[in-house]
Amino acid sequence: MRRLIDRASRVAFAFAMMNYAAVAGLVRLVSGRRVWR
């Protein structure tokens, strides 16, 4: 059970992180911070 919860937690975190990154990516572009070169 613990293993299942840990696995679900990692998936939930990966999903949350991806959504955070979508907002952070927009902020970086709009603020003109370099994300390339």
Partner 1 sequence: MKTAFWVSAFLVAYIYVGYPLLLAVWARLRPADGPRSATVEPHGLPYVSVVLAARNEGHQLRRRLDNLLSQDYPADRFEIVVVSDGSTDDTPRVAARYAPRVRYLPLPRGGKALALNAGVREARHPILVFADARQRFAADALRRLVAPFADPRIGGVSGELHLGTEAEGGRRGEPRDEGVGEGVGLYWEYEKWIRRKESAVASVVGTTGAIYALRRAAWRDLPSNAILDDVLTPMRAVLMGYRVVFEPAARAFDMTPADAEVERRRKTRTLAGNYQLLRLEPRLFVPGLNPVWLQFVSHKIGRLVVPYALVALLVSNSALASAGPLYSLALILQVAFYVLALHGATLALAPAVQQRPAREASKAPATLDTARSRVPKEWMNASLD
Calpha distance 20→22 (Å, rounded): 5
We find the least distance from the C-beta atom of residue 1 to partner 1, in angstroms, to be 13
Token representation of residue 4? 């299942």
Q: How far, in whole angstroms, is CA 2 from its chain's centroid?
A: 24
We find the least distance from the C-beta atom of residue 16 to partner 1, in angstroms, to be 4
List of residues contacting partner 1 (CB under 8 A): 5-26, 28-29, 34-37
Query: Which amino acid is residue 4, in one-letter code?
Result: L
We find the least distance from the C-beta atom of residue 22 to partner 1, in angstroms, to be 4
